[in-house]
Amino acid sequence: MIVPVLLLGLGLILAYIGSRKSLSRLQFLFVILFFLAGAISVVFNDLTMKAAALFGVGRGADLLLYFAVLCGVLVAANFYFRFRENERVLTEIVRRIAIQSPLRPGDHDRH
Amino acid sequence: MTDTDPVGAILRSAWVVIPAWREAGVVRGVVERLRAICPRVVVVDDGSPDETSREALAGGAVVLRHAVNLGQGASLQTGIDFALLEGGEYIFTFDADGQHDPESLARMARILVEHNVDVVLGSRWLGTVEAMPPLRKFVLKAAVVFTRYQSGLRLTDTHNGLRLFTRKAASRIRITQSRMAHASELLDQIGALKLRYAEAPVKISYSEYSLQKGQKISGLFRVLLDIFYARWTR
């Protein structure tokens, strides 16, 4: 029962992301791989155990947890950099407006 | 003063950039005292909710208004951009809270001429300091040591808002630290661009008002974080 549900969910998510066209082809490929890996680790859960043993981690669930934390940090870093960039753009816009409309002591009607 | 007097020529042709945020109570007086010495003053109102713009204008300054609050570093850069657009050959930066003495400008201009430098930085330690709290003194001294280590500049005061740039220096410096780390950023750039610099003794008066408006010690960590961030991502 779990397999068709997973496939349906995966298909819907991919269709949604693909329709947004905000990702490059490479990024889209990574998203597909990411979800495929997730689906596989659910269906064949002994695989994550073997992978955990390979990395010297106790359990498959632990490996997934570490991986999830890593993903979380990367997402946070990505948002942080975008935030800095937005700040830079905002500064530039506000500065240009300020310089384009200086108030000079003579023009009393402007303020 | 005659036209052959280079210091007088600098003062007559320079732009003074004053970043201001919520300084309605004092900015007019500061502008008026300044304009008696240096007639071209531009106040950058950094999105103040009060009457800072109106007061600065009443004092005779040109006013640039940031639509939203961006920080002192961003305000300085806005004022410098404007002064360059207006053809300013010399650009001073000056604090809005009244801690600086307009009389210092002539001394700085003289040092610029005599030492033939691109940048003159005000130093409170070479000059007179009135009523400085001990903790502030300690933090400022620590910043001097830190800067000497970071940018290689040998200065006695690294966080003084009173500066004088030639047009060449001002057009090459680019402040990207919008908030308070700009003072260190500026010095880094002076070092990296190999600009010639000198320090000038300036008088600083710490009033209850300027202390209340000034940087809190707690802001220090934010500044350090901004500096390290800029180094990593450069």
Which chain A residues touch B53 with a CB distance below 8 Å? 103, 111
Which chain A residues touch B44 with a CB distance below 8 Å? 98
Cβ of B65 and A103 within 8 Å? yes
Question: SS3 of B216, please?
Answer: coil
- CA gap B34, B22 in Å, rounded: 19
Q: Residue B153: what residue type?
A: L
- CA gap A49, A44 in Å, rounded: 10
CATH class of B6-233: alpha beta
φ, ψ (nearest 5 deg) of residue B64: -110, 135
Beta bridge partners of B182: none
- A13-46 pLDDT, tens per residue? 778 877 776 777 787 788 788 878 887 877 787 8
Please, are residues B19 and B45 in contact by the beta-carbon 8 Å criterion? no
At A111 the pLDDT is: 47
- CA gap B56, A111 in Å, rounded: 12
Per domain, the residue ranges of chain B are: 6-233
How far from the centroid of its chain's Cα atoms is residue B202's Cα?
12
Band of residue B220 on the pLDDT scale cut at 50, 70, 90:
low
Please, are residues B85 and A96 in contact by the beta-carbon 8 Å criterion? no
- CA gap A89, B91 in Å, rounded: 25
- CA gap B221, A84 in Å, rounded: 18
User: Which residues fall within 8 angstroms of residue B88, CB to CB, at 6 or more apart?
Assistant: B13, B14, B15, B40, B167, B170
At A83 the pLDDT is: 92
- B166-219 pLDDT, tens per residue? 999 999 999 988 777 888 888 889 988 999 999 998 888 777 666 666 666 666
Please, are residues B126 and B200 in contact by the beta-carbon 8 Å criterion? yes
**Residue pairs between chains A and B whose CB atoms are closer than 8 Å:** 51
Q: Mean pLDDT score of chain A, rounded to an integer?
A: 83
Interface of A with B in 68-107 (CB under 8 A): 87-88, 90-91, 94-95, 97-99, 101-105
Q: Mean pLDDT score of chain B, rounded to an integer?
A: 86
d(CA A94, nearest CA chain B) in Å: 6
How large is the angle between the packed helices B72-85 and B182-192, nearest 10 degrees?
50
How large is the angle between the packed helices B104-115 and B6-13, nearest 10 degrees?
120
Question: SS3 of B163, please?
Answer: strand
At A34 the pLDDT is: 81
- Angle at the Cα of B214 from the Cα atoms of B70 and B199, rounded to 5 degrees: 95
Q: Which of residues B63 and A48 earns the better pLDDT score?
A: B63
> Does the CB of A25 have a partner CB in chain B at under 8 Å?
no
- B39-90 pLDDT, tens per residue? 999 999 999 999 999 999 999 999 999 999 999 999 999 999 999 999 999 9
